[in-house]
Amino acid sequence: MENEKQILTVSELTKEIRKTLEETFEQVSVIGEISNFKSHISGHWYLSLKDADAVINCTMWKGFNQYVFFTPQDGMKIIVNGKLTVYPPRGSYQLDIRSMKPAGLGELQEAFEKLKQKLEAEGLFDEKFKKPIPVFPGKIGIVTAIDGAAFKDLISVAKRRFPLVEIIIAPARVQGSGAAESIVNSIRILNEYPGINVIIVARGGGSIEDLWAFNEEIVARAVFKSKVPIISGVGHEVDFTIADYVADLRAPTPSVAMEIAIPDINEIENFINEFLLKSTTNIETLLEERKEDVASFHKSYGFRLPMEKLNRNSQQVDSSIGRILQSIEKYSMIYDNKISLLSKSLESYDIQRVLKRGFVLVEQNSKFVTRASNFNKEKKAQLKFYDGEITTQ
């Protein structure tokens, strides 16, 4: 009977083992190196932790792994906290991980270097892929936390420097679990939004863990894939992230990223005012020069020549006219004389003919007396005959 009591079904034994293990190792911390890491489509993580001599299978359910700020990579040394459990269908035990962190900062640094080398080898940092940043962006897309300090900085720089721009913010988680996915999503959304000329991916300063999302491979690939040029402005000047290397332009801080993205309104105003001043002077100089040109033309011999010619010609005309007038005068005098001579002889010729016929002309006081009533008996009279004149007593 006692022996029979000892006989357990597989399930019963497994149940006992499970109970023992779970009770004994309800809360354990383990250090080990990741191998065979797999993020299942369901969101659960499957991995093994190993050291030189042993391996233990691990799971990390979605509900827990969403709080992990980094994506585990094979070879990374981590410290996990969890409980041991049994998977009855396979008769295996495994560690249910509840939290996970890198064994040291060196682990993150190493992960960073590994990813950097990998992406660099793929050409993701190549200058030839860097898109030019437009000088006058109409719309700027921003990927950052909407309640973060970086966003405030970005807005205040835009307001001060170039308020003509339009800001399109696609809010993203920039820290902790899910941050990488959120950043990737925001970059995608901004690429779909019409008319965005440049995207700023930004986050204020923080620890390497805080900035870790920008060192994730999916973020690097999303930045590389973006059709819209991307300026990164993550952390402080000393912080370099993988996203910085892939970005079309790396700015040391969020504020500088905005300064690079937009022109300065003051510079534009200065340019315009300078234009007004300079071109006014230019025009005035040009006018002055032309005036001088005209004046010197005016004084030039060539310009005076036609005037002189005109003067000379009019002098010629004048003297010709003078000569013409003179000769006209001369001729008219000659003709006048001739005419008067002729008319005199004509006149006398007429009188002679009358006198020849026996008529007499009576003259008193140098006037012809043509009527008897006009004759003065008291005075002398000249009697003009054909053949001579007689003066009466």
Partner 1 sequence: MSKKKTKSNFEQDLSRLEEISRILEEDSVELEEAISLFEEGVKLSKSCLKTLKEAELKITELKSELGKITQVDEE
Q: Is 227 in the site for partner 1 (CB under 8 A)?
A: no
When asked if residue 295 is in the footprint of partner 1 (CB under 8 A), the reply is: no
Task: Determine if 353 is a binding residue for partner 1 (CB under 8 A).
Answer: no
Is residue 180 a contact point for partner 1 (CB under 8 A)?
no
**Which of residues 8, 28, 31, 286 is near partner 1 by CB under 8 A?**
286
Residue with Cβ nearer partner 1 (16 or 269): 269
Supply the minimum distance, in Å, between the C-beta of residue 203 and partner 1.
17
- Give the whole-angstrom CA distance, residue 275 versus residue 267: 12
Mapped onto helix, strand or coil, the DSSP state of residue 159 is: helix
Q: In terms of Cα–Cα distance, which of 64, 67, 96 is closest to 83? A: 96
CB of 116 to partner 1, least distance (A): 29
For residue 149, report the phi and psi dihedrals to the nearest 5 degrees.
-65, -35
297 lies in the site for partner 1, by CB under 8 A: no
Q: Is 282 helix (H, G, I), strand (E, B) or coil?
A: helix
Distance CA 334, CA 91 (A): 162
Q: Name the residue nearer to partner 1 (CB basis): 50 or 139.
A: 139
Please, what is the minimum distance in Å from the beta carbon of residue 274 to partner 1?
A: 8
- Rounded distance between C-alpha atoms, residue 149 and residue 142, angstroms: 13
**What gap in Å lies between CA 244 and CA 230, rounded to an integer?**
10
| Residue 52 neighbours by CB under 8 Å, 6+ apart | none
What is the closest distance, in whole angstroms, from the C-beta atom of residue 198 to partner 1 in the complex? 14
Residues composing the chain: 393
> What's the one-letter identity of residue 163?
P
Specify the residue, 80 or 219, whose C-beta has the smaller distance to partner 1: 219
> Which residues 6+ apart lie within 8 Å of 312 measured at CB?
none
Nearer to partner 1, 12 or 269 (CB): 269
Binding residue (CB under 8 A) for partner 1 from 8, 268, 325, 354: 268
Could you say whether residue 287 binds partner 1 (CB under 8 A)? yes
Give the list of residues 6+ apart from residue 53 with CB closer than 8 angstroms, or none: none
Figure out which of the listed residues 189, 256, 351, 361 binds partner 1, where binding follows CB under 8 A.
Answer: 189
Q: Which residues bind partner 1 (CB under 8 A)?
A: 136, 138, 146, 155, 158-159, 162-171, 182, 185-186, 189-190, 192-193, 195, 265, 268-269, 271-273, 275-276, 278-280, 282-283, 286-287, 290
